[in-house]
């Protein structure tokens, strides 16, 4: 078996009407633009003038940082005493955001400084939204959107900002990653990371490290073959694909035609996608149901790659065949980094496993070796990204599933539960010393993280994977469920009165 592949260098520089644009390898000829970016304004929120930014801090990606800690230690101006007094604005947008916003303060858009939220809808539109008044500053629409709008072909990926704050990177359901200018939403390049976007879905949040954009792929509901979960590492400057690691047929380091691999599945679909150790650049992720043989097929495994896409450690449970048979994916959530090589790996089997990884094992297969296994908050499937909080010398792990939220402290390779409740949620975040957990049935719950004491519930509608962010005296939370295939949605913005 020799899978066909994309040749090296998946983007091309094309001159159109005297303007240099980078197009994906799939484009031929010379188009005026590969997609559209337009500026728009919506009516100003009546309370916008009283809610200016308090400190000027960014939230550049899902999980706040490359390691997906889900924790911001910056002051937000929101406290246990005033959180219940925040005013909510519901911003109507042309699509569902079944993910997380990102935020950049004081960036220049359309010639003026704006505190700005950026979101990507399930059908691939990326919007810049004024954080002060909820107006739409610009809108990027991927080319060909009409061909998949209203269909099951979607993305639930959160965009990521370039550290230079001049660009963001966003996914679309056609299997592309695009680099967009913060100033007006125009595309700089667009690169395909799959040859079969109707089967291979970009579900997880994008990440950025060391000048690279990191994206992962999975499958769609029902796991219709063929597809293989894979990691794509792109050069942020040019959009060129630098490295591909396939979780099935892993001896082929290129974008494959999915039908050319004899195995299908092994989605990489945890909400956090690739979790990056900022010290080393190592990438941690987990795979879903598929064959595991410890050689070229790595279904239901937790994997570590170095920044060049080489495997440096791995783990799979001893009951990996049973997990695959029961549709109990280990890869329903990404690893949570606890420090010193320790990770917490959840799954659809209702367990959170404590593991320790190194950098010397390479591709030598490892089964078993869990230091501890604890139940998820309610004993159910874990689809969310836990928060890892380090106040002082104590390490906390906070997780939510469909039936509860729980907090543990971590020391000596073991978790000790501190509190638990029966209120489910999506991925928890901590900002300014408060814990925020969105309940998909409606309501944003705010807790004291060390005790679990609830201090407020902010009204909001129903959702799915949606996760809040908190910065500069504001909370932003999308509503809606990608599986409803809607072309409208809501972004809630709470501000100081």
Nearest to 435 by CA among 170, 127, 78: 78
The tally of domains found in the chain comes to 1
Band (pLDDT 50/70/90 cuts) for residue 40 is low
Nearest to 474 by CA among 47, 32, 174: 47
Nearest to 118 by CA among 460, 106, 131, 110: 131
**Which has the minimum average pLDDT: 47-61, 242-256, 356-370, 412-426?**
47-61
Report pLDDT digits (tens) over 457-484.
Answer: 999 999 999 999 999 999 999 999 999 9
Report pLDDT digits (tens) over 97-118.
Answer: 999 999 999 999 999 999 999 9
The secondary structure element, H or E, covering residue 87 is strand 87-93
Band (pLDDT 50/70/90 cuts) for residue 8 is very low
For residue 451, what are its two tokens? 């005790």
Band (pLDDT 50/70/90 cuts) for residue 349 is very high
Residue labelled with tokens 């579900």: 203
pLDDT score for 55? 65
Percentage of the chain beyond pLDDT 70 is 90
Residue labelled with tokens 């079944």: 98
Residue 50 reports pLDDT greater than 60: no
| pTM score, whole prediction | 0.92
pLDDT score for 37? 82
For residue 257, what are its two tokens? 């035609």
Residue 6 lies in a domain: no
430-452: average pLDDT: 98
Residue 2 lies in a domain: no
Q: Check residue 26 and report its DSSP letter.
A: T
Residue 125 reports pLDDT greater than 60: yes
Band (pLDDT 50/70/90 cuts) for residue 31 is very low
pLDDT score for 165? 98
Residue 5 lies in a domain: no
For residue 143, CA distances in Å to 15, 36, 146, 190, 458 come to 18, 7, 8, 10, 37
| 46 within 8 A of 443, measured Cβ to Cβ | no
Report pLDDT digits (tens) over 56-102.
Answer: 999 999 999 999 999 999 999 999 999 999 999 999 999 999 999 99
pLDDT score for 362? 81
Q: Containing domain of residue 256, as a range?
A: 11-495
Residue 354 lies in a domain: yes
pLDDT score for 30? 32
pLDDT score for 24? 36
Band (pLDDT 50/70/90 cuts) for residue 363 is confident
Give me the CATH number covering residue 242: 2.140.10.10
Grouping H, G, I as helix, E, B as strand and the rest as coil, residue 261 is coil
Residue 17 lies in a domain: yes
Query: How many CA within 13 A on the CB side of residue 333?
Result: 31
CA–CA separation, 354 and 369 (whole Å): 9
Residue labelled with tokens 């065949």: 321
Residue 3 reports pLDDT greater than 90: no
Band (pLDDT 50/70/90 cuts) for residue 47 is very low
| 239 within 8 A of 299, measured Cβ to Cβ | no
CA–CA separation, 102 and 52 (whole Å): 18
pLDDT score for 41? 54
Percentage of the chain beyond pLDDT 90 is 87
Residue 26 reports pLDDT greater than 50: no
Report pLDDT digits (tens) over 271-296.
Answer: 999 999 999 999 999 999 999 999 99
Residue 153 lies in a domain: yes
Residue 4 lies in a domain: no
């Amino acid at each position: 078996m020799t899978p066909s592949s994309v040749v090296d260098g998946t983007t091309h520089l094309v001159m159109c009407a005297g303007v240099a644009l980078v197009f994906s390898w799939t484009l031929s000829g010379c188009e005026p633009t590969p997609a559209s970016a337009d500026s728009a304004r919506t009516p100003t929120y009546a309370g916008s003038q009283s809610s200016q930014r308090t400190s000027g801090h960014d939230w550049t990606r899902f999980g706040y940082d490359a390691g997906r800690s889900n924790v911001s230690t910056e002051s937000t101006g929101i406290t246990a005493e005033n959180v219940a007094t925040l005013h909510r604005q519901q911003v109507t947008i042309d699509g569902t955001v079944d993910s997380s916003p990102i935020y950049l303060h004081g960036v220049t858009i359309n010639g003026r400084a704006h505190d700005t939220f950026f979101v990507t809808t399930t059908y691939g539109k990326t919007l810049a939204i004024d954080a002060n008044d909820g107006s739409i500053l610009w809108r990027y629409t991927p080319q060909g959107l009409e061909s998949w709008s209203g269909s099951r072909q979607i993305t639930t990926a959160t965009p990521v900002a370039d550290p230079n704050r001049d660009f963001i990177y966003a996914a679309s359901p056609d299997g592309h990653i695009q680099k967009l200018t913060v100033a007006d939403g125009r595309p700089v390049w667009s690169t395909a990371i799959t040859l079969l976007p109707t089967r291979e879905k970009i579900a997880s949040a994008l990440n950025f490290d060391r000048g690279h954009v990191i994206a992962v792929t999975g499958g769609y509901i029902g796991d219709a073959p063929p597809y293989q979960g894979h990691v794509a590492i792109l050069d942020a400057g040019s959009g060129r694909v630098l490295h591909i690691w396939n979780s099935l047929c892993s001896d082929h380091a290129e974008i494959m035609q999915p039908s050319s691999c004899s195995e299908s599945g092994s989605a990489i679909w945890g909400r956090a996608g690739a979790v990056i150790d900022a010290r080393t650049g190592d990438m941690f992720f987990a795979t879903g149901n598929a064959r595991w043989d410890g050689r070229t097929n790595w279904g239901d495994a937790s994997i570590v790659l170095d920044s060049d896409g080489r495997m440096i450690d791995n783990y799979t449970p001893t009951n990996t065949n049973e997990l695959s048979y029961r549709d109990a994916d280990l890869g329903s959530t990404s690893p949570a980094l606890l420090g010193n090589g320790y990770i917490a790996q959840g799954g659809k089997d209702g367990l959170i496993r404590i593991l320790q990884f190194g950098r010397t094992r390479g591709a030598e297969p490892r089964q078993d070796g869990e230091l501890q296994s604890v139940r998820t908050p309610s004993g159910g499937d874990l689809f969310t990204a836990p928060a890892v909080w380090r106040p002082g010398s104590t390490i906390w792990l906070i997780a939510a599933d469909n039936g509860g939220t729980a907090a543990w402290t971590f020391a000596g390779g073991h978790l000790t539960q501190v509190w638990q409740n029966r209120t489910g949620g999506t991925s928890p975040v901590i900002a300014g010393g408060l814990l925020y957990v969105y309940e998909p049935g409606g309501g944003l719950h705010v807790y004291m993280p060390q005790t679990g004491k609830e201090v407020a519930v902010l009204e909001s509608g129903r959702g799915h994977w949606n996760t809040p962010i908190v910065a500069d005296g504001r909370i932003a939370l999308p509503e809606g469920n990608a599986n409803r295939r809607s072309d409208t949605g809501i972004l809630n913005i709470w501000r100081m009165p």
